[in-house]
Amino acid sequence: MNHNLFATFAERMRERDDADFITTREGQRYTYADALAASARLAGALTGIGVQKGDRVAVQVDKSPEAILLYLACLRIGAVYLPLNTGYTGEEIRYFLSDAEPALFVCRAAVLDEARRIATETGCPAVETLGTAADGSLMEKAAAATPREDIVPLGVRDLAAILYTSGTTGRSKGAMLTHRNLGSNAETLRQAWHFTPEDRLIHALPIFHTHGLFVACNVTLMTGSSMLFLPKFDADVIFEEMPRGSVLMGVPTFYTRLVADDRLTPEMTANMRLFVSGSAPLTAETHREFEQKTGHAILERYGMTETNMNLSNPYDGERRAGTVGMPLPGVEFRVMDRETRGPVARGEIGMLEIRGPNVFIGYWRMPEKTREELLEDGFFITGDLAMVDDQGYVHIVGRDKDLVISGGYNVYPKEVEQLIDELEGVYESAVIGLPHPDFGEGVTAVVVRQAGSRIDEAGVLAHLNGRLAKYKQPKRVFFADTLPRNTMGKVQKNELRKQFQDTYR
């Protein structure tokens, strides 16, 4: 049996033939037949460049239908798709290319010279470009390539993708996701959220992230439904498209902005059947206000880079504000005491652990880290603290570690602190996440100046600009005489969070 996920997608693509797969407001349109043919041409181009089964293809490009076709081409030939955040700087890209050792780096044309330099320095043998209008050197090669109509046979543990995620210690970790991981989760979500070929998803998420790539696109492909691809969230555009859409997947920021708009009414959302929220906590207030204004209860779910989607509020039944619902079919969870490693009773807080066919097989070239977090019995330690209420709904109450999740993206505090600490006039710093109405958590820095230093907030932010992706940069910088510490000398970030908790309210 061929476990290549593309074999499953291709079956549905042939069935759907000339039905829309992806459209854009700029007039781009790919039917399923178009996408199948384009994936074959891109697969031929990848083969011509030298990409083989198991090779990584690193991709940092702006959102476009062609980026999804490239993802499909990688699946088709058994290459490993490695999407990279478009906000990463050259120095950050250097790390990923060094660590993943891709056979190909696909970038935007505007950064080609820098990309080639970094690729040469890291030993990446090939660099191609991809634009947003079916342009770039990769599309030129695809047009001239001999299409590959075959689908490479793969085993159950063969990799489909590597997604890098941040922890609280060490550098970014590459989560290895198999074709089985992605396929099982897409099929589960298709059923759980009642997707049909008639659905039209309004896609305003980035596609270098689990939510926008694997949840949105894979479920669409598994169903044979269609997507309207938007470059970003724009409330005006969302309101224009709602009468022709049926599903919106978003992060809490989407919904806080929609709720604040007078155009959000039952009439405006009459054609919509489902609003999904994830990647960061949705406030109970936003949940309730959205339902009051539209009659639709937002479906909040819970997933991770390492596991895809694990828990979901029900499609049929009560969608409880402030909860992430119950386990999806085939997924198991347990809430364990952090000290005793035994299960906690309902209503008590413990560490959330997940097991299922959706759970990744480990971190790229990090066997020790894999053993720490992926247990012998198959459960993955999520790092999230959770509580199960008397109705069986799971509440995520916080993170065990100091990872900040801002706008659905992971921010590793130490990375930010190290850059702040190197700035002249800074003695030390601590980076924390604080409740933020738009982003879930706002990255916030607390800085201790050296004696006589006049460094201010603007100076710190200017130092970080260009050195870190925008989403990692602090939204505010505060100054303190000292940082709170325990008897062992460890900075007490919980005290800082208490002190500055109302910053963004």
**Which residue segments constitute the domains of the chain, with CATH numbers given?**
5-155 (3.40.50.980), 201-399 (3.40.50.12780), 406-499 (3.30.300.30)
Q: Residues for the chain: how many in total?
A: 505
If DSSP codes are grouped into helix, strand and coil, which group holds residue 94?
helix
Would you say 425 and 449 are in contact if contact means Cβ atoms under 8 Å apart?
yes
Res. 398: pLDDT tops 80: no
Give the CA angle between residues 159, 129, 30 to the nearest 5°: 75
Give the CA angle between residues 457, 461, 463 to the nearest 5°: 120
What tokens were used for 259?
A: 């709720």
If DSSP codes are grouped into helix, strand and coil, which group holds residue 396?
strand
Q: 19: which DSSP letter? A: S
pLDDT value of residue 394: 97
What tokens were used for 177?
A: 């996701």
Kind plus residue range of the DSSP H or E element containing 410: strand 409-411
Would you say 308 and 215 are in contact if contact means Cβ atoms under 8 Å apart?
yes
If DSSP codes are grouped into helix, strand and coil, which group holds residue 77?
helix
Res. 111: pLDDT tops 50: yes
pLDDT value of residue 489: 54
Of 493 and 445, which is predicted with more confidence?
445
Would you say 309 and 185 are in contact if contact means Cβ atoms under 8 Å apart?
yes
- Rounded to whole angstroms, how far apart are CA atoms 80 and 492? 40
If DSSP codes are grouped into helix, strand and coil, which group holds residue 137?
helix
- Rounded to whole angstroms, how far apart are CA atoms 440 and 121? 37
If DSSP codes are grouped into helix, strand and coil, which group holds residue 448?
strand
- Rounded to whole angstroms, how far apart are CA atoms 59 and 107? 6
For 69-83, what is the mean pLDDT? 98
Model confidence at 116, pLDDT cuts 50, 70, 90, reads very high
- Rounded to whole angstroms, how far apart are CA atoms 164 and 172? 6
Res. 215: pLDDT tops 60: yes
pLDDT value of residue 168: 39
pLDDT value of residue 488: 41
Residue reference for tokens 């470009």: 129
Would you say 61 and 67 are in contact if contact means Cβ atoms under 8 Å apart?
yes
Q: Where are the alpha helices (DSSP H) in 101-251?
A: 112-122, 137-144, 179-192, 210, 218-223, 235-241
Neighbouring C-beta atoms of residue 429, cutoff 10 Å: 24
pLDDT value of residue 349: 86
Dihedral-angle region of residue 294 (phi above 0 means left; psi in -120 to 50 means alpha; beta otherwise): alpha
Would you say 215 and 303 are in contact if contact means Cβ atoms under 8 Å apart?
yes
Res. 464: pLDDT tops 90: yes
- Rounded to whole angstroms, how far apart are CA atoms 302 and 278? 6
pLDDT value of residue 172: 87
Res. 17: pLDDT tops 80: yes
Q: What is the overall mean pLDDT for the chain?
A: 94
Instruction: Kindly report, residue by residue over 48-65, the tens digit of the pLDDT.
Output: 999 999 999 999 999 999
In this structure, what is the dihedral angle of CA atoms 235, 240, 246, 251, given to the nearest 10 degrees? -10
Residue reference for tokens 């191609």: 128
- Rounded to whole angstroms, how far apart are CA atoms 194 and 481? 55
Model confidence at 39, pLDDT cuts 50, 70, 90, reads very high
pLDDT value of residue 400: 74
Res. 353: pLDDT tops 90: yes
Res. 4: pLDDT tops 90: yes
For 132-148, what is the mean pLDDT? 97
If DSSP codes are grouped into helix, strand and coil, which group holds residue 435?
strand
- Rounded to whole angstroms, how far apart are CA atoms 474 and 464? 9
Percent residues over pLDDT 90 in the chain: 86
Res. 114: pLDDT tops 80: yes
pLDDT value of residue 487: 44
For 130-155, what is the mean pLDDT? 97
pLDDT value of residue 169: 44
Kind plus residue range of the DSSP H or E element containing 173: strand 173-178
Candidates 408, 9, 33, 64; CA nearest to 219 is 9
Lowest-pLDDT range of 6-10, 352-356, 407-411, 473-477: 407-411
pLDDT value of residue 490: 67
Would you say 430 and 483 are in contact if contact means Cβ atoms under 8 Å apart?
yes
Res. 101: pLDDT tops 70: yes
Percent residues over pLDDT 70 in the chain: 98
